[in-house]
Amino acid sequence: MDNGLTINTDSVSAISTPCNLISSPATFNDSDYSVVSTPKNTKRRSKKRTDVGRKRLKLENDWIARKRKRLCNTGLEYTTSKGKTKAARSMEASCEKCRLQCYNKIGYEVRVDLFDKFWKTGDHAKQWEIIAKYVIQKSKKTATNVESESSRRSHTLHYHLPIKSDNGITLQKVCKTMFLNTFDISKDFVYTAIRKIQEINDFTDVTDDRGRHKNHKHVISNEMKQSVIDHLEPFPEKAYKALLKINVAKYKDLIYYCDKHIIPEKYHTFYRNLLPAEHDVDNASDDD
């Protein structure tokens, strides 16, 4: 039927059908995509920890020096800080020839019991106390040569060991060899115990300071001194105009700086009188 319409067959062949679109693969170029990448110089943001967590425990008993000292005080084998091995303590033989005849007065079992109790204390101060209790120092009675120069020895040490008797525990006098061999100690151990009892007269406050010292040098640089001076220079002028509140920590720091002469001496009176004399320092205000 001819309605006056004409169809161009060339244009129809040029139109692609849906099937042709699916069957023909699409081609893309690399320029059609933009690759998103992180710059190399970008730093990772660290999150600030709000919870400080649990503090590390101070296990002093596990310190190598403490373990070494504990072994030494209990008479066991240990290795020094220089790597030298020290043998364990052991009771030595009694004296063989003695005018006091100690070997007949003190039995083997008694000596073993004294040795075990002595080293089981594990405390050097208590061991000094035991030695000082059994060793009595007395002035020497006679001098062999009076005309010669005075002897350095002015005292005599009398050694004793405790034994059981009908009256309880009594001190039996023994020779020096018997005493030292029973506890396996040196004469210097005895001399130190005697010196300690002479100095303090009481072993309740004695501490074993071997391996310790109090000569800790506290260095304060000139820069630190100057920074303190610069920081505190305007402080007196402000305080004279109006009384400033000061906390306990700052007050103690100021007194410390005055004692160390970090703060100029002309300000010492002012800083020491910041808190009234009748005012308790511990109850000072915590405000700065």
Quickly count: other Cβ atoms within 10 Å of residue 76's Cβ. 14
Q: How far apart, in whole angstroms, are the C-alpha atoms of residue 114 and residue 92? A: 13
Q: Which residues contact 257 (CB under 8 A, 6 or more apart)?
A: 228, 232, 263, 271
Cα 126 from chain centre = 22
The reported pTM is 0.53
- Return the sign of the alpha-carbon dihedral for residues 159, 165, 166, 168: positive
**DSSP three-state, residue 162:** strand
pLDDT in tens, 43-89: 566 666 666 677 788 888 888 988 999 999 999 999 998 999 999 99
**DSSP three-state, residue 24:** coil
Q: Can you point out the beta strands (E) in the chain? A: 78-79, 85-86, 135-139, 155-165, 168-174
Quickly count: other Cβ atoms within 10 Å of residue 87's Cβ. 9
pLDDT at 38 over 70: no
pLDDT band at residue 281, thresholds of 50, 70 and 90? very low
Q: Can you point out the beta strands (E) in 96-167? A: 135-139, 155-165
Q: What is the pLDDT of residue 62?
A: 87
Q: What is the pLDDT of residue 287?
A: 45
**DSSP three-state, residue 27:** coil
Q: What is the pLDDT of residue 14?
A: 43
Q: Apex CA 23: angle with CA 22 and CA 24, to 5°?
A: 95
Q: What is the pLDDT of residue 249?
A: 79
pLDDT band at residue 275, thresholds of 50, 70 and 90? low
pLDDT at 130 over 80: yes
**DSSP three-state, residue 41:** coil
